[in-house]
Structure 1
Amino acid sequence: MYESSASIIAVDPTAQNSLLKDTVLTAPPLPQGAVQEVLHSQNIVNNIINSLEKSSLSPEVIREISGDLKKELSANVFKRVEVRARLDPQQRGVYEISAQGETPEAARLLAETSVAALLAWDTARAKQGVTRSLESLQAQLKNLTERIESVDEPLERESLLSARGQLLQNLSQLVVLETAATGTLIPVADAVAPNRPVSPRPLRNAALAGLLSLFLVTGLVLLSDSLRRRVNGTEDLLPLGLPVLAQLPLLRRRHLAAGFLPAAHSGPLYEGIGFLRINVQSMLGNREHRRLVISSSYPGEGKSSTTAALAESLGAAGQKVLVIDADLRRPTQLKVWSPDRIGTHPLLGTDLTLPPATTVTEMFLRPDAAYATRVGTNVDLLPAGTPHRGDGAGGILSQPAFRTYLDRWAQGYDYVLIDTPPMLGLPDTLAVAPYTDGVILVVEGGKTRLNDVERSLQNARVANVKMLGIVLNKIARTSDTYYAYGPETTGAAPVLPAVRD
């Protein structure tokens, strides 16, 4: 392959003397990245191909270049024609247009036609306003001429003739401006046929291979370092400035034999869920319809099982709790609760004459027919239903109507716990959280990276979402933790389940 380059300069259209400003129409300055986007647009690529087809290159070379240009356009990855810019903050400077071809002449012609197509586009954008004005004046002139031909009264005819003369004068001035219109790009150096190919080049490739090896080793070192920056304990979370509301142990398989929620009734998980419940009640006080969003940075950290365990603990303390499974793409709540029999009952304000809507998706479409599923003592669930794919699920949660329905569904409950998708994977949590008292972030000990927790908190700050605290989940129990005082003191410790959420 051979490579040829041509240069153009971007000038400041305001840097003209007063005489030129009155006689020459210039295009406005180009914004950053405009030349790259234009040169790799469908219209410009088509113009380049049309020019090459009229050139003296062989049909085989033309077909090869045209095919590559079309493929690159579809893939949005460009190698045949590239732009290198050296610009100042005002976007003034030099653009180098480089092109690759199978022969020296093919490379030169490709660079030359690329520059020509770019300059033609730049000139055309300078003429756009004048062209529209010309079309408007020509339409006015046509209308005025028709009126003159139909008027017999001398005074009115003379007035119309005067107006027509002014229009003709304006038209002639616009024609001059259109002819003199110029863009902000000016050719500097023409493309020349290269005398040496740019590939293959064995020495360069060997050097690149050496550099690649160096970068690979460096990358492995950095990767190893990043893997060590895991959240292993509360001390790692102190710099984040959020309270750790609970530490939940990693349960052994024998603790989960009867299911996750039964494991929370006693043993190493019992105390941690109790601390979480007390801290939540203390933070939110006694106001009505308290709402919490529970999420995580990534799937599998235990947000859904933490939501269920907190709901059951609040229900056992006499609080009426509504759990909403808002993870519409990967619903988990119904699996965590695993009720023997599913019984439903209408929410407040439901029209009993309508067929029941028993999932979040159905309730959004038919809010007057909402029914909750009873899953535990004082605990009701609005299950997500069939998993969604694509953008439809997130669209439901981000619509303004969701807040209205949330207000309706919350009636009659002391707490509403909303299980949302992971914060770094989907924007759903940030869409729902503004309608609640805040977000509790579940972090898996020994696995979740600290910088991922920081990214989740940063996203929440940008979206003006309140973060209430962190639940450190699946941590290894040690002999000096409060878990040693629980009703079961044997076996390993810390929380969340075999359920992947």
Structure 2
Amino acid sequence: MEISLVKTSSLNGNNGNRSYLPQVLQTQPLPFSEGQGDDWDLFQILSVVKRRALVIAVVMTAVMAGVVGVTLKQKPEYLAKFQILAEPVNSDDSNVPKLASGIERKFDKSGLDYETQIQVLRSPELMTSIVKQLQLSYPEINYYSLVNSLIITRLGETKIIEVRYQSNDPVKIKVVLDTLAQAYLKYSLENRQTNLRQGIQFVEKQLPSLQNRVDQIQQQVQKFRQNYDFIDPQGQAEQIAGLVQSLSGQRLAINQQLAIARTYFASIQGAEGAKTALSDAPVYQQLITNIRQLEAQTAFELTRFQENSVPIEVLREKRQRLLPLLHQEAQRVWSIKVAQVANEIQNLESQSQTLALAEKKLQKKVEQLPVLARQYTELQRNLQIATESLNRFLATRETLQIQAAQTQIPWQLVQAPVQPEVPVSPNTQRNLMLGLVASTLLGIGSALLLEKLDNTYHTVDAFKDKLKLPLLATIPFEKQLPKIQNGTIADRNRTKLANLRSQDSSGSSEVVEHPDTLNQDYNQYESLKFLEALRVLHTNIQLLSSDQPIRSLVISSAGAGDGKSTVAFHLAQIASTMGQRVLLVDADLRRPRIHTLTNINNLWGLSSVISGNMPVETVIRQLPSVSKFSVITTGPIPPDPAKLLSSQKMKQLMADFQKAFDLVIYDTPPLVGLADASLLAPSTDGIVLVTRMHKTDRSVLKEALDSLKINRSNVLGLVINGHKSMSYYNYYKYKK
């Protein structure tokens, strides 16, 4: 196909074509940003569970296998018990004296310290004789094995002590519990009362010395506070140290600012620093602009007049008059900058000296406090130890006295030990239920963890919520892309739909396909929904402008493998079937794909026109299967693609293409790490960003969007590729 290209300015042509775009797309900042909320609702969790069903099944199977294996390997364990009444049920408190006048007696509920009593029953002194007696029948029993399998507790708030023993031998359990019951009853009559009396005598002998020590230390603390006027020297030291640290931090910050100011003061003394200081002076910059305009006007007038002509002389005279003003303004601005920086340095030095002096004074106070703080802490620690020892001995004496009064009544065996018959473990049903619950929770937790670590998008709503970009189309996953690219399925579906329309419009008898025929065409449904999605994309792009249609656009993606080339090719194919003259330009001069999709040789192409002298008409080739569809391949891959795409010749070609065709589509490399797409986008009506479901990396996509925001590129919208959904199946049924 040969066309005539008119040589015009690419900049002017581009501005003319972009004037009809919606104003919000030209002036407003790009509305994409990552959302901050990571909360999942029930529907999202169900979606994750469905998507990660295999992971959940594997984890549940592994956990259940482990639970079943452990349960089957466990040996049966038996448990038996006996109960002892440690206090009388109805006790007479009339003979128990009150602790003080007007204070109620403390023996209303129980006079026995059960916690202490249980520890005594488990003590080695009491258990040694029991172990020796049991070793006659079971030599493997020792103190630690017996205590580890023995459970002694108080039965609720009652006066009953319950003793339980667990083992895999029920006969051994009966023997051990009988021996323990006899030993505990004997202890309640003999050893327990004797030990309590000895303990009371020992405690009463130690109490006077402990009381004297507490009194002496309290007097020392009182004198220390009076002599040094300190309540808590350690707290005061920490407060002063905190002030020193705060002052040190402030002084360090002031010194950093001072170093920056001095560096800046030294920099503006040189030529480069002076230029930097003058960069934000509006009057100076205005004079520079005026001089440059006069120079440009002079250069322009020289093309029309002689060197010594009057207009040239007038322009040069105006420029000479502006030069003194420029030098005066530069000197004035530079002097003000120097004075400001010098004043700032002086203020910062004064602040630094003041902070250093205050820090030095506080440091002297800190050096005097450690000795006093150490002495005071030593006294407090000694007082605390002595007070705790005194309180502990007083509590022990009271407890022993109460227990001694209660030991006059012997313990009673209210439930004798019985040999167990049913094992208490393993509980197969409980283990399986717990295993099922645990495996389910671990499976769902693993799925949620994998989903949290997954850095890709899996739903259309996720794209829309996070990116805040207009969604132009959702391209379904297509397995039969090679057939579509060859045009076979598209032509067959188009012919089939045309026949159906012609039969319906002619008024002939209604044509109804048999369900078997529909089932045979079901494989074509995948291709049909793919083509319909592309038609939706084409329609949405055309509807972006209310005045005139979009004439040129760039199709790119954040990274490789998102399907941008496939979308560009099929979008061009759809646009051409709708009557538009379409030109598809493969601007990916790094890894071109269009020549593969179109089955066109890539011996010459875009790089041949830009870097060589090949006419553009030579590289524009029309596909034989689709009318009004022209393609320009990349041609030989150049060593510096960005240099070619940023050239003036490329801009001129883009302007000429936009005038000669109804729609020009540029397939460019990915945005991240490459400047190719950003170089071409300003010369078009906008850029379409292609992403891929389950593949596009969030961080890479965010980086691409940030680069577009910095470049102020006009983003037309987002295309989601590789989407799998049943909504297209419902559409296909409706079409049928």
Calculate the TM-score normalised by the size of structure 1.
0.47
User: Which has the larger helix fraction?
Assistant: 2
User: Which has the larger strand fraction?
Assistant: 1
- The structure having more radius of gyration, on CA atoms, is 2
Calculate the TM-score normalised by the size of structure 2.
0.33
